[in-house]
Amino acid sequence: MALVLDGNRIRDEILEGCRPRLERLSAAGGAPGLAVILAGSNPASEIYVRNKIKACQALGIYSEKLAPPQTVTTAEVLELVEGLNRRPEIDGILVQLPLPSQVDAKRVLLAIAPEKDVDGLHPLNLGKLMNNTPGPRPCTPAGILELLKRYRIPIHGQNAVVVGRSDMVGKPVALLLLHEHATVTICHSRTKNLPAVCARADLLLAAMGRPAFLTADFIQPGATVVDVGINRISSREECARIFRDSPEKLAAFDRNGSVLVGDVHPLDVAERAAAYTPVPGSVGPLTIAMLMVNTIQAAERRLLETC
């Protein structure tokens, strides 16, 4: 039977490990501060931000949310960022993506002070990732590495295939795996013979945003599969097809009007993989945990390294 990699359990371990560090910060005269900019009214973004604020409150990290309207301009968001850059009690600034279409997201991310970039997406911090020098790492990739290490999944010398080349997940997780001495292939929509490439992977990471796209043909028997995708299925027929008419899943669909599925076929991966992450309950909780870690690290640099 395949091992289910429980992201909730690893999240709890990471957050518990944060508490002594927070006690040390408190003794040094302050708590970390995280500010989140949530522009517009994207329902998924609102859920993500609510969960991040909740995690801060549970740990005792100061948090605040700035919520400009959907009509906000690039200049107005830049003004918010610059104001947060100047506030010493704010250690981390997170701009929730996606921003409204009229806002230049690249300009906004570039405006965040690198030392307050708790998403790890500023070019300076991505350069530190490239060079494998200390700095904030993008939260989802860092969470994936924590998951693999804490479950003692081999990385050194393994063939790793990353499906997806986004700046937030695909590229940085490939670099992190390279730093751990994996042999890494990055695939995307134009990769030739994608099933055959994926089927050679000891470690298969899916992050392309296509529901249940990676089926049995993509999965080497005995592989470890990490599914970053979160896709909402709103068609009962599609739910029945993906879950092979599972009464439990169909009942859940009828109750909620939708079900969540990752980028990997949920039944195929359970049958072929040696270990895999379920959706939901795998990578998402780790992303928030690593955001807390990055915020604490920023506060440690401010409050402890200057003492």
The answer to pTM > 0.85 is yes
Model confidence at 307, in pLDDT bands (50, 70, 90)? very low
Q: Residue 29 has what pLDDT? A: 79
* pLDDT tens profile 107-135: 999 999 999 999 999 999 999 999 999 99
Q: Residue 166 has what pLDDT? A: 94
- Mean pLDDT confidence for 232-248: 96
pLDDT beyond 90 at 30: no
* pLDDT tens profile 31-68: 899 999 999 888 888 988 999 999 999 999 999 999 99
All CATH 3.40.50.720 domain ranges of the chain, comma separated, are 139-285
* pLDDT tens profile 181-199: 999 999 999 999 999 999 9
* pLDDT tens profile 3-26: 999 999 999 999 999 999 999 999
Amino acid identity for residue 48 in this structure: Y
Buried-exposed string 132-143: b where 16+ CB fall within 10 A, e elsewhere: eeebbbbbbbbb
Cα of 32 vs its chain's centroid, Å:
21
Q: Which CA distances in Å does 25 have to 31, 36, 87, 134, 304?
A: 6, 21, 18, 20, 7
* pLDDT tens profile 245-293: 999 999 999 999 999 999 999 999 999 999 999 998 889 999 999 999 9
Query: β-strands 92-95, 159-163: how paired?
Result: unpaired
Phi, psi of 109, deg, nearest 5: -65, -35
Q: CATH classification of 31-131 is 3.40.50.720, yes or no?
A: no
CATH top-level class of 139-285: alpha beta
Q: Residue 303 has what pLDDT? A: 85
Sign of the dihedral through C-alpha 170, 173, 177, 179:
positive
- For the annotated catalytic residues, the residue numbers are 52, 96, 119
Q: Residue 100 has what pLDDT? A: 94
Q: Which CA distances in Å does 95 have to 73, 80, 235, 267, 290?
A: 14, 10, 32, 35, 16
pLDDT beyond 70 at 306: no
Helical residues (DSSP H) of the chain, grouped into ranges: 7-27, 43-59, 74-86, 105-111, 123-131, 139-150, 170-179, 194-198, 236-242, 247-256, 266-272, 283-303
All CATH 3.40.50.10860 domain ranges of the chain, comma separated, are 31-131
Cβ neighbours of residue 263 closer than 8 Å, sequence gap 6 or more: 163, 164, 206, 207, 208, 209, 210, 211, 212, 213, 214, 227, 228, 229, 231
* pLDDT tens profile 126-181: 999 999 999 999 999 999 999 999 999 999 999 999 999 999 999 999 999 999 99
Q: Residue 182 has what pLDDT? A: 98
* pLDDT tens profile 72-88: 999 999 999 999 999 99
